[in-house]
Amino acid sequence: MALILMSHGDMAVETLKSAELIVGQLPETVALGLHESDGPDTLKAKVVSEIEKYYQKEPIYLLVDLLGGTPGNVAVNLTQDYPELHVISGLNLPMVLNYANQMFIGEEIKIADIMNEGKAGIVDVNAFINADASEDDEDE
C-alpha cells in the first residue's frame, strides 16, 4: 500500500511529519505541496512520479486537502489515467493516523473508516465539555 498526501502549501508535508511523530515512520508514504512558484503541471509531474512507483503493484491512496482546489483537481484528473487510484479529499491528521493503524495491523484499507475518522476528529470542544458538565450535574 502506498499513501500520497497532497495539499496547498506545506500542509501535507507537515501533516505527515506530525503523523510520524505519533506513530513512527510510514513506509511508502510521501507528501507533496503546491507552492506559489508551482503550477498544476509541476504538481502533476511530481505526483505521477510517485504513482508510477506503485501503480498496479499495490493500492495507492491519494489524500488531498480540498476538492476543487488545484491539488484536488490534479488528483481527480489523474483518475482518468490511473483508474485504480483511490482519491479522498479533506486531508487531516486523524485520517492519516487511521490509515497508519490499518496498515500497521495488516488490514485491507477501508476508505470509509479513514473518512469517518477524519470527520470524527472535528469536535466543538466547548460544546463537548458543556455536555459532559451537564451530565455530571444530572448525576448529582
pLDDT tens string 105-134: 987 899 999 999 999 999 999 998 998 777
CB atoms within 10 A of CB 1: 17
- Give the DSSP letter of residue 107: P
Give me the CATH code for the 2-139 domain, please.
3.40.50.510
pLDDT confidence band for 12 (50 / 70 / 90): very high
Angle at 52 (CA atoms; ends 26, 113), nearest 5 degrees: 45
Alpha-carbon distance 100 to 25, whole Å? 10
The whole-number pLDDT of residue 133 equals 73
pLDDT confidence band for 136 (50 / 70 / 90): low
Strand ranges (E), the chain: 2-8, 29-34, 60-64, 86-89
pLDDT confidence band for 140 (50 / 70 / 90): low
The whole-number pLDDT of residue 129 equals 92
- The per-residue b/e assignment along 54-76, b for 16 or more CB within 10 angstroms, e otherwise, is bbeeeebbbbbbbeebbbbbbbb
User: Given a cut of 80, is residue 135 above it in pLDDT?
Assistant: no
Name the pTM for this structure.
0.90
Ordered by start, the domain boundaries in the chain are: 2-139
Question: By three-state DSSP, how is residue 54 classified?
Answer: helix
User: Given a cut of 80, is residue 137 above it in pLDDT?
Assistant: no
* Tens of pLDDT, residues 14-71: 999 999 999 999 999 999 999 999 999 999 999 999 999 999 999 999 999 999 999 9
